[in-house]
Structure 1
Amino acid sequence: MSTSEIIPPVLDISLSVQTSPHARAKRKIAALMDEIEILKQDKAIKQRKTIYYVSQGRAICRIVALYTPIEDLIAENDRRCEDCGPSSSSTTVQDRLQHGYIELAKALPWLHDKLACLDHEESEDMLKKLKRGADSARGDDTGTLKELVASWVNIKCHPTALIRTDDKHHHGFVSDACGRLLCPAEWSWEDPVVRAGIRDRTIDFIVSENSWPSFMYENYQADANNLEYGLMKSRLLIMGFKAIFTSPSSANEVDGEGNGADIIENNRCARKRSDQARIRFALSSINSWRTVDGDFDYQIFWTSIVDFFEDAPGPAARTRANDLLEWWTRQVIDH
């Protein structure tokens, strides 16, 4: 047998086997259509994730933390996981952050596991979308209350010059109606010395976050001998809460005390972390949401409210805080 019969001829792969141009074009178009469909599916998935995360994030500023970044809550929980020995300790600030993380895990029960399985870039993207939803909800809430609170004050207080719902320049201590509600509970707005001192920001009448404003009290008046009596039982607070958590129209249904109900955990969290800071913002003369208004620090004010419920100093104070939450349940759930 000859060699030529044993070894097959070498094919020249540089030569193409001619096919129909029309057929080639059809195959290219089909391949491109497949790629486009895949891209559409990827885009749709990303859009669904974005919509989901943004919508879920709307709960954060309402029932988790009004100011604290989500990353700080996560970092504190991570710190505790890594430093969980018998000698480990924590500060008040760290305890507050961990309280916030626990509330975050309750509000978004899927988040804890999600953080464990996503890589860093995916986690960052998810948190960014959650924060977008949180910021959006806070903006919506403050915008809603800015108009509603002005109309409620007009109806309740009948000021000579009505409070405008679209302009806050004449809110705050410039207005007698708003000033009376913003005045620290231990002072009397009816006293001309107090009123002038507050408006002129004299050293003896600095309005800071260290005092409870009158609008937080039942009938907007405090007992000078017991500043906890009637605290956070204000009709204005209840109306603000219902406007945010149920609907603006439901705020008009607020009346007397209900017949009683079991504490609902999510509503407890919401009431502990809800609308006092937003109500004060609506009564103030500042136009945009910020942390400090003159001598008043909203973040410290909000923290004091949360600590009132979550860090009560002793069993008696905890009992009073729980009784107050039960009262809120009757007000909010039964009406």
Structure 2
Amino acid sequence: NRKKSDTLVADGKHFGRTVCAFPDIHGLLFDGITQMLGLQTPDGTNGLAITEQHPSDDRCLFTKLLEMNKTLKRCLLEATPEEIVSVSAQIGKGIATARSTDAKGVKTNIEKWIHKDGKPLSPPISSDKRFRGFANYWTGKLLCPVDYDWEDPNVRADLASNRVDPFELDEDGMYPWPMFLYEDYKYDESDPWVGFMRGYPCVKCYKHIFTSPSSAD
């Protein structure tokens, strides 16, 4: 019915935002039901315990999904294959809707999140993708790897012309982090964790998705 469908879509949105953004819901449900039937225990638990060793495997994802909707377990066990397909479609719809809504909201607001004071950017960010990325001062500054000095004109020219690979593995086999991840766009080489994931756009994006769009204004 309509109420059940809306509930599954809402569960999908929550699951996609807080657990996994790109799950194979159809496969997850069928595999989960198979394991659940085979591992049913006398105390009524489904036997799909979350383990610290495998926190993101399918058993963990399926268990998280069951925790979000207390009636889903019984619904799946009593459902026909066609009904399970319908359930997975509704949950998948919720996940896709959440991704689309969040991506659109972030894309619409990201320009005003670059500066804390919200002042118009100069030069502005072009609507033409060819003039974004490293071709624009502000977007380039955010994307610039922490190992490079964006204020150096030669660095900006090399990145904009693709003469250097900004995301080439370093000597330790690691990819360099982009500067927008750091608070005030400042990177402390002696302690890379200082200010990490506290960049102004990161904080605003988090609030927009997980709190409410208005909380990021």
Q: Same fold (TM over 0.5)?
A: yes
Q: Which TM-score band (shorter chain)? A: 0.7 to 0.9
Structure-1 residue corresponding to 2:111: 150
2:91 to 116, 123, 130: 130
Structure-1 residue corresponding to 2:44: none
Structure-2 residue corresponding to 1:114: 75
> Do 1:53 and 1:126's aligned partners in 2 also have CA atoms closer than 8 Å?
yes
2:61 corresponds to 1:100: yes
Structure-2 residue corresponding to 1:70: 25
Distance 2:31 2:193 in 1: 32
Q: Counting helix residues as a fraction of each chain, which structure ranks higher?
A: 1
What does 1:129-208 correspond to in 2, within 5 Å? 129-153=90-114, 155-156=117-118, 158-163=120-125, 167=127, 169=129, 170-206=131-167
2:183 corresponds to 1:218: yes
> Do 2:13 and 2:94's aligned partners in 1 also have CA atoms closer than 8 Å?
yes
State the SS of the aligned residue for 1:205: coil
Distance 2:111 2:153 in 1: 24
Distance 1:93 1:163 in 2: 44
Distance 1:76 1:224 in 2: 45
Distance 2:89 2:160 in 1: 41
| TM-score of the pair, normalised by structure 2 | 0.74
Structure-2 residue corresponding to 1:236: 201
> Per-residue deviation at 1:207?
6.2
List alignment gaps of at least 5 residues for structure 2. Answer: 40-51
Q: Deviations over 1:24-67 (max 9, x none)?
A: xxxxxxxxxxxxxxxxxxxxx3x333333223221122111122
> Per-residue deviation at 1:75?
6.1
Distance 1:223 1:157 in 2: 27
Q: Which has the larger radius of gyration?
A: 1
> Do 1:74 and 1:101's aligned partners in 2 also have CA atoms closer than 8 Å?
yes
Letter of the 2:11 counterpart: Q
Structure-1 residue corresponding to 2:9: 54
> Do 1:194 and 1:205's aligned partners in 2 also have CA atoms closer than 8 Å?
no
> Do 2:29 and 2:88's aligned partners in 1 also have CA atoms closer than 8 Å?
no
Distance 1:211 1:78 in 2: 41
State percent identity of aligned pairs: 26
RMSD: 3.2
Q: Deviations over 1:252-283 (max 9, x none)?
A: 3xxxxxxxxxxxxxxxxxxxxxxxxxxxxxxx
Q: Deviations over 1:88-134 (max 9, x none)?
A: xxxx9965224433443344444344322222211111111111121
Structure-1 residue corresponding to 2:42: none
| TM-score of the pair, normalised by structure 1 | 0.50
Aligned pair count? 197
Q: Deviations over 1:181-233 (max 9, x none)?
A: 11222322223343233223335433689332211111122212222222112
> Do 1:76 and 1:97's aligned partners in 2 also have CA atoms closer than 8 Å?
no
State the SS of the aligned residue for 2:57: helix
Letter of the 1:48 counterpart: K
Shift in CA distance, 125/80, structure 1 to aligned 2, threshold 3 Å? closer
> Do 1:185 and 1:227's aligned partners in 2 also have CA atoms closer than 8 Å?
no
State the SS of the aligned residue for 1:48: helix
Letter of the 1:235 counterpart: Y
